[in-house]
Amino acid sequence: MDALVVTGGRRLTGQVKVSGAKNAALPIMAASILADGPLVLKGVPDLRDIRTMGRLLGKLGVSAERKRGGTMVLKSPSRSNRSRAPYEIMKTMRAGICVLGPLMARRGRAEVSLPGGCAIGDRPVDLHLKGLRALGARLEIEHGYIIGSCRRLRGAEMYLGGPFGSSVTGTANVLMAAVLADGTTVIDCAACEPEVQDLARVLEKMGARIAGIGSPRLVVEGVDHLGGCEHTVIPDRIEAGTFLVAGAATRGDVTVEGARWNDLFGLVNTLREVGAEAERCDGAIRVCARRRLRSIDVTTLPFPGFPTDLQAQMMAALTTADGISVVTEKIFPDRFMHVAELGRMGARIRKQASAAVVHGTEQLSGAPVMASDLRASAALVIAALMARGKTTISRVYHLDRGYEHLEKKLRRLGATIRRVNLKS
Ligand code: EPU
C-alpha cells in the first residue's frame, strides 16, 4: 500500500497548474448516455474516480476512450437496454449515482445500486428520487438497488431543497433527465455549484434548452434528441483551493494557474481574513502569506459559500493560527475524520456537534497518520508540509481519487514529499 512521506517546514513558492475538475467531469461523463453522437471531453483529469466512472459506463455499453493530453471520447450506442450499475462499482464511488437520470431519460429503465457508504457521513439520495419521480419515473428500492422504469418522462415543477440545502449530484441527475422530458421542467432550489453549471453548458451544446444556469431556479424545455459535442472541463476549484491553502499555511507565495476567481471567492475572502494576501492575476490566483495566520470562524455553505470540500484543508491551516478558530460544517455535519489525525501532529482541536474549535498552536510536529477520505487526506498533507520533521501518511489511495500528480506538483513548489510502498 502506498504512503506519502513529507518532511515539513518549507515555504511553498512558485507556480502550479490546476487540472480539470473531477466533480464536473464525472456527471458530464454520465451525460454521454443521453447523446446520439460522440462526446469529446478535454481536460479530463487522470484519476481513480474517472477510471471508475469509465468502467461503470462500460457496463452500460458506453465506450470511454482516453486519448493523449486529457482528452476522452465517449460513445453511447444509439440503442441499448443495458441498465445495471452494479454494487461492485457503485460501492467505491458515489458519483456513479449520476447514471440514474440519464438511464431513465434515454433507456426508460435503470437498476442502479445505492452508492457505497462514505467516511464523511450520511449521504441519502431522497432528493434524486423525488425529482425523478416528479418527472414520472417509477422508482423502488429493492435489495440495495434503485429499480426504475418509465415511458417518456414529463416536465414538472419541483423543489429540490433538503435539510442541508441543495444537492449537487441530485440537481445533476434530475437536470439530465429533464432535458429529454416532454415539456417544461422547473427545478427550484437547484445547486448552483460551478460543476453543475459546467454540466448544464455541456447539455446545451448537445442541444438541450436550459435557462437560469448558475441560479437556484433552472427552467428546462425538453427536446426529443441530443447530439454529441466537444467541451473542455472547467478547472478544479477544490484542487486549486487546496494549493492556495497550502501556500498560505506554509507562509509561502503560490500562484495557481487556471484557478477561477469567481469559483473561489469564498476561499479568497477567508484567506484574506486570516491575513494572507490573495490577488487575481491573468487567469490565475496568487496567495502570499508573510506572517503567522490569524484565527477565524469558518462556516461551510453551498456555493458561493465556503466549500465543504475545503473545510478540512482550511482547518489544517488554522491549527497554527494565532488564536481560537471555530469551523462549522453546514453541509456534512459529521465531516470531521481529520480532527483525530491532526491531533496526532499536535493540533489542539475539540469537536462539538457539527463544529470544531481549533486552538492555534505555534507548530505541529510530524507523525504517522492515516488518510480517511479524499479531502481529509489533503488536510493531512497540508499539516505535514507545515510540521517540523517527518510525517508518513498512509492509505493515500484516497488522495489518488481526486488529486492528479499531487506529489509532483508539490515538489515543484519546493515541498519535500515522496511516495513509498509500505509492505503491509
Ligand atoms: N442530501 C440529502 N438528500 C439527497 C442528497 C443530498 O439530504 O438526496 C444532503 C447530503 O446529505 C448533504 C447535502 O445534502 O448534507 C449536500 O449533498 P450533495 O448531494 O450536494 O453532495 P453530493 O452531490 O453527493 C457533491 C460532491 C462532493 C461535495 C458535495 C457538496 C461530487 C461527485 N461530489 O456530492 O464532493 O462534497 O457535492 O459540495 O460532485 C469530494 O469531492 O471530496 C466530495 C465529497
114 CA to centre of ligand 1 in angstroms: 14
Residue 123 is predicted with a pLDDT of 84
CA of 6 to the centre of ligand 1 (A): 30
Q: Please, is 1 exposed, middle or buried when counting C-beta atoms within 10 Å of its C-beta (0-12, 13-18, 19+)?
A: exposed
Residue bearing cell 505541529: 364
Of 110, 64, 67, the C-alpha closest to 90 is: 110
How do residues 50-77 score in pLDDT, each as one tens digit?
999 999 999 999 999 999 899 999 999 9
Q: Could you give the residue numbers annotated as active site?
A: 118
Percent over 90 (pLDDT), the chain: 94
Q: What is the DSSP string of 312-351?
A: HHHHHHHTTSBSEEEEE-SS-TT--THHHHHHHTT-EEEE
- Does any ligand 1 atom lie closer than 6 A to the CB of residue 124? yes
Quote the pLDDT of residue 117. Answer: 56
Q: What is the pLDDT of residues 99-116, one digit of tens each?
A: 999 999 999 999 999 997
pLDDT score for 122? 76
Which residue's alpha carbon is nearest to atom 9 within ligand 1?
A: 164
163: preceding bond cis by omega (within 30 degrees): no
How far does CA 318 lie from the centroid of its chain? 22
CB of 402 shorter than 6 A to ligand 1:
yes
For the chain, report the end-to-end CA distance as a whole number of angstroms: 7
The residue type of 291 is R
Q: What is the pLDDT of residues 224-240, one digit of tens each?
A: 999 999 999 999 999 99
Phi and psi based region of residue 41 (left: phi greater than 0; alpha: psi -120 to 50; beta: remaining)? beta
Nearest atom within ligand 1 for CA of residue 121: 11
Cβ of 309 closer than 6 Å to ligand 1, yes or no, is: yes
Per-residue pLDDT at 16: 98
Distances (CA, A) of 167 to 107, 129, 193, 322: 24, 12, 10, 35
Q: Tens of pLDDT along 321-338?
A: 999 999 999 999 999 999
What's the pLDDT band for 118 if we cut at 50, 70, 90?
Answer: low
Nearest to 4 by CA among 398, 422, 392, 412: 392
**Dihedral of the alpha carbons of 31, 34, 38, 40, in degrees to the nearest 10:** -20
Give the pLDDT confidence of 373-393 residue by residue, as tens digits: 999 999 999 999 999 999 999
Q: Whole-prediction pTM value?
A: 0.97
What are 410-421's pLDDT values in tens digits?
Answer: 999 999 999 999
DSSP β-bridge partners for residue 286? 255, 279
Ligand 1 binding pocket includes 170 (Cβ within 6 Å): yes
CB 329 within 8 A of CB 300: yes
Rounded CA separation 69/63 (Å)? 18
Return the best residue to mutate from 331, 337, 373, 406 for the ligand 1 pocket (most ligand atoms within 8 A of CB): 331
Of 167, 195, 329, 374, the one to substitute when testing ligand 1's pocket (max ligand atoms within 8 A of C-beta) is 167
Provide the mean pLDDT of the chain.
Answer: 96
Residue 172 pLDDT greater than 60, yes or no = yes
User: What strands, in cross-sheet order, belong to the sheet with 324-328?
Assistant: 297-299, 324-328, 355-359, 348-352
Q: What cell numbers appear for 209 in the block?
A: 434548452
Closest among 110, 192, 188, 196 to 153, alpha carbons compared: 110
How far apart, in whole angstroms, are the C-alpha atoms of residue 183 and residue 220?
Answer: 8
Q: Categorize the per-residue pLDDT at 424 as very low, low, confident or very high, splitting at 50, 70 and 90.
A: low
